[in-house]
Amino acid sequence: MPPLETRIQAEAAQDPGIAHARGEDGALWVTDRQALTPEELAAWLPQWEAALPERGELLAARRRHNVYRLDTEACGPVVLKYTNPGKTKRRSAVAAWLTGRRLERALPGAVPGLIGAVDSLEGDQVVHACLITRFVAGEGLEPESEWGALPSDLAQRLGRFQARLHRTGVYLQDCRLGNFHRVDSTETNAGGVDGFCLPDLEALAEGQPTRFQAARLALKLRLDRASLASFWSAYCAERGEDLSLVERLLLWGGYVPARQLRHRLLRFQRHRLRPLLYNGKRHPPRGG
């Protein structure tokens, strides 16, 4: 049995709310059975897709994915995320949905309502993937400058949320401020934990970060010194432990300088080296 099907069955054995099926075309379907069965989603999804893009709202169009918001008769406002399997290692919408489901069980409200996912396969390769969640009104913590400054109370709440997230055995590998959405807990469709929700299920990974790994993830937030200090103090208070002296020396004496050097080299390549190599004749390849 393919690894993904094995995982689906293992997760469904732990969570009776997970429904799953394999279509006649070999596609893998998973749903929250309280929302829709796989058969019902298979009937509704073509109608939803036929309404795109005219009746939907394009939330994001990037190299790796397109994301739409659509008002539906069956489930109300939903978000449909279509991945581009040729450009990303995170090919499976079903795997991302299962990770989100695991997080939802451990930390209710940390992700939007999970409706379902489908992977269309050719052999073991995903050729089309769609992830469907409920729409949650909110906004990402996008920084106004290169180094984000957050109010102290907001940075502390974010630190507590990150610690609670890590305790579940799931973490945000694409750990940037924009992936943390602030939601209004008074809204019926919001939920949230400490006022935050993680809508990008593909940015999640399974595993419990060590203290050192958690500190590295914190640096990816690109907070200013004061905000980072507030974040980290709240994180450690919630987790109940801080970095050791050796870990601090490794972080600030080794990892941070190496990371800064890498960023400088990437900026040099992007802004100085590429224009010299291509001399304006054609656009350089994306992702190179």
pLDDT tens sequence across 102-113: 999 999 999 999
**What number is the average pLDDT over the span 43-67?**
91
What pTM does this model have? 0.84
Helices first, then strands: H and E counts in the chain: 9, 12
Domains (range + CATH), the chain? 3-134 (3.30.200), 138-239 (1.10.510)
What's residue 50's pLDDT?
Answer: 95
What is the pLDDT, as a whole number, of residue 145? 55
Contact call for residues 175 and 217 (beta carbons, < 8 A) = yes
Residue with the two structure tokens 């103090």: 233
3-class DSSP assignment, residue 72: strand
State residue 278's pLDDT score.
Answer: 56
- What gap in Å lies between CA 118 and CA 95, rounded to an integer? 10
Mean local confidence (pLDDT), 54-72: 90
62-90 average pLDDT score: 83
**Among 144, 94, 101, 142, residue whose Cα is nearest residue 120:** 94
- What lies within 8 Å, CB to CB, of 162 at 6+ separation is 172, 214, 217, 218, 231, 235
Specify the pLDDT at position 123: 79
Rounded-to-integer distance, Cα 225 and Cα 250, Å: 18
Mean pLDDT for the stretch of residues 170-187: 84
30-44, 140-154, 186-200, range with the lowest pLDDT = 186-200
d(CA 137, CA 198): 12
Q: Over the range 18-36, which residues count as b (16 or more CB within 10 Å of their CB) and which as e?
A: bbbbeeeeebbbbbbbebb
What span, in angstroms and rounded, lies between the C-alpha atoms of 228 and 214?
Answer: 13
Confidence class of residue 287 from pLDDT cuts 50, 70 and 90?
Answer: very low
Confidence of residue 280 (pLDDT cuts 50, 70, 90): low
pLDDT, position 159: 97
The whole-angstrom separation of Cα 122 and Cα 113 is 29
CA–CA distance, 203 with 181 (Å, rounded to integer):
13
